[in-house]
Amino acid sequence: MRQWFALCLALLFTTSAAARGYAIQHLEPANWWVGMQHDRVELLVHGPGIAALQPRVDWPGVAVADVARVENANYLFVTLAIAADAKPGRFPIDFMEGERIAVRHDWALEAREAGSAQRHGFDASDAIYLVTPDRFANADPGNDSAPGMQEHGNRADPNGRHGGDITGLRQHLDYIAGLGFTQIWPTPLLENNQPAYSYHGYAITDLYRTDPRFGSNEDYRALSREARAHGLGLIMDVVLNHVGSQHWWLRDPPTRDWFNHPYFDRADRFVETNHRRTTVQDPHAAPADKALFTDGWFVKAMPDLNQRNPHLARYLIQNTLWWIEYAGLSGIREDTFGYADADFLSAWGAAVLAEYPDFAMVGEEWSANPAIVAHWQRGKVNPDGHVPHMPSMMDFPLHIALRTALLQPEGGDYGWVGLYEMLANDFLYPDPDRLVVFAENHDTPRALAHFNGDIALWKLAIAWIATVRGTPQFYYGSEVLLQGPRERNDGELRADMPGGWAGDARDAFTGTGLTDAQRDAQDYVRALFNWRKRTPVVQHGKLQHFAPENGVYVYFRYDGKDTVMVALNRNPEATPLALDRLGDFIGKDSRARDALTGKAVTLGTALSLPGTSATILEIE
């Protein structure tokens, strides 16, 4: 009888709620974990008229600590306080209308994975393989298009969705690990329900959902778990600056200041960022220019978020923590880093490192000026008082200097000297060894295209990123000489990986149909990065370089025990390298071995360097 009465009561409450139109459309995050440093979780609750209700929780160790209402009555911000001894489990949050339950929504509190807080992120001992997932491998053609997703698969369109997915990544983890890489960085895998250009992932429309054309949240977690089994960490590409124009927030924003320059103020107005990243530090910058940099939209399809709103700031911080814990991440690459509010970036970074002290994060600040990039790295003392917490930054200054050096004529201040002098700017960084170095990425023409198809120059660039200080990042497919256009065209430079689609004539994964040049390039990458993987001195040793002479740039990695010499020869012809200048590292009795072949190398008084080549020697 009592059970029947309870059932009738529940039906009555449900009918009452429906009659008033109460329903929860979004409640984020949908769960949390016991034992987190971040133990006060603010839930974003969205539904028609939900602000009229009062939340109630009855679960051991969990209490409603605060309820905030904003100008939009369709939102509640509910803070749950979670005690250290809270009981994991699934329980209801009741939203009360007086003494009656108007809406009931289940929420989960979970136990953390053992050692989660102590996870070790990537560092200079790692090498990162960057993937555009839509273009890597299509293991499940059935999800090329998905119900409710506006853009369908169309491999014939360079700017369309080609069908690569998480399952495709999972099937080729052994290939990536076999090349010598230890980390995978996929460009964003979260939902991008945009009408076009949705494949790249940077116009996110749901920050808690994997795009169904890639797979599910559970697939994402399986990717991380299986990657670890292959000795690979998973780096998530996080976007804090903006969302996609089809995000549901645009249809019903919580507050008028949730976005910068919102469309719902003036539908005909698009305010674009000026991209003047120097304004963040420039003591002479006009305030209007500084505000336009951070508050302007990146592009029309990516509305700019206002992280000065405290509810949005907490939402973004919690979203990052949620994915680290849920997916077992080993690192984060943060997109368009300097475009977000500087105070928020400091708070975000501090919150992540408070939860995971040994975690790894790298920020994107696309500047050729190392002073601009150094501003954002943890430990930098800035004149403007900004306190950064980002452990690493993408080394765009070296990236640009490398690509410039290899195309300039040698001599004077040109060629290798530009790269040599850019590396000398390491005194600006608090920790240059934590920077991520790269010859290309998903936003640049591929290095091979930049070098006009010159494979020898491409090898020099890859040898540089593998042996210089920092953590190297490599872009998928370059090992089989994917080239693309010399001028930036995103859809074409992010080409399909050969063998990632059924029926491909060439297969990078098995070697079927590859040309001799492709096989040679793949073998070079495999030998180079596997050698780096087993050679600690190249990962963590000190670096000393010698001023370039006669088209040759020489530097050493050393640690008091082991020494590696790298000699990069730009000249098309064989070039002698006098060794007396290198006496601190090479004596008359020194012997050497080629790092990649293992063959003994005679040193003597001079060393003949093959034309346009990298000579890498282990000094004995």
- The yes-or-no verdict on residue 361 having pLDDT over 90 is yes
Contact present, 105 and 123 (Cβ < 8 Å): no
The whole-angstrom separation of Cα 401 and Cα 407 is: 10
If pLDDT is split at 50, 70 and 90, which confidence band does 2 have? very low
d(C-alpha 194, C-alpha 301), whole Å: 8
Q: Which residues pair with 190 in a beta bridge?
A: 210
- Percentage with pLDDT > 70 across the chain: 96
What would the mean pLDDT of 224-228 be, rounded to a whole number? 98
* Residue, of 124 and 264, whose pLDDT is higher: 124
pLDDT at 436 over 60: yes
- C-beta atoms surrounding 384 within 10 Å: 10
Is 91 within 8 Å of 57 (Cβ atoms)? yes
Has residue 191 got a pLDDT over 90?
yes
How far is CA 194 from its chain centroid? Answer: 21
**Over residues 144-159, mean pLDDT:** 97
What span, in angstroms and rounded, lies between the C-alpha atoms of 237 and 131?
11
Q: What is the DSSP letter of 93?
A: E
Distance CA 331, CA 123 (A): 10
d(CA 141, CA 197): 19
For every residue of 238-275, which 3-state class applies, written as one string? EECCECCCCCHHHHCCCCCCCECCCCCCCCCCCCECCC
364 near 333, Cβ under 8 Å?
A: yes
Q: How far from 209 is each of 46, 184, 206, 218, 487, CA to CA, in Å?
A: 16, 20, 6, 10, 34
Among residues 438, 321, 432, the alpha carbon closest in space to that of 379 is found at: 432
Work out the average pLDDT over 198-210. Answer: 97
Mean local confidence (pLDDT), 136-164: 97
Say whether 103 sits in a helix, a strand or coil. Answer: strand
SS3 100: strand
Tell me the pLDDT tens digit for each residue of 105-134: 999 999 999 999 999 999 999 999 999 999
| pTM for the full predicted model | 0.95
> Which residue numbers are catalytic?
335, 364
- CA–CA separation, 205 vs 220, rounded Å? 17
State how far the Cα of 428 lies from the Cα of 394, in Å rounded to an integer. Answer: 14
55: tokens are 């939340």
Residue 17 has pLDDT above 80, yes or no: no
CB within 8 A of 8, min separation 6: which ones? none
Q: Which two tokens mark 201?
A: 């992932």
Please, are residues 235 and 330 in contact by the beta-carbon 8 Å criterion? yes
Which two structure tokens, joined as six digits, stand for 323? 């994915």
What gap in Å lies between CA 341 and CA 295, rounded to an integer? Answer: 8
Tell me: pLDDT of 358 over 50. yes
Mean pLDDT of 350-361: 98
Domains identified in the chain and CATH numbers: 2-111 (2.60.40.10), 126-243+308-537 (3.20.20.80), 541-619 (2.60.40.1180)
**Over the stretch 308-352, which tens digit does the pLDDT of each residue have?**
999 999 999 999 999 999 999 999 999 999 999 999 999 999 999
Please report the pLDDT score of residue 268 as a whole number. 62
DSSP H/E element including 12: helix 2-20
Kindly report, residue by residue over 600-616, the tens digit of the pLDDT: 999 988 999 999 999 99
Per the document, the length of the chain is 620
Of 72, 38, 78, the residue nearest 56 (C-alpha) = 78
Under the banding of pLDDT at 50, 70 and 90, the label for residue 266 is low
DSSP for 194-245 reads -SSS-TT--S-SEEEEE-TTT--HHHHHHHHHHHHHTT-EEEEEEE-SB--T
> Taking the CA of residue 203 as centre, how many other CA atoms within 13 Å lie in the half-sphere pointing to its CB?
21
The residue to which tokens 């539904």 are assigned: 47
* End-to-end CA separation in angstroms for the chain: 87
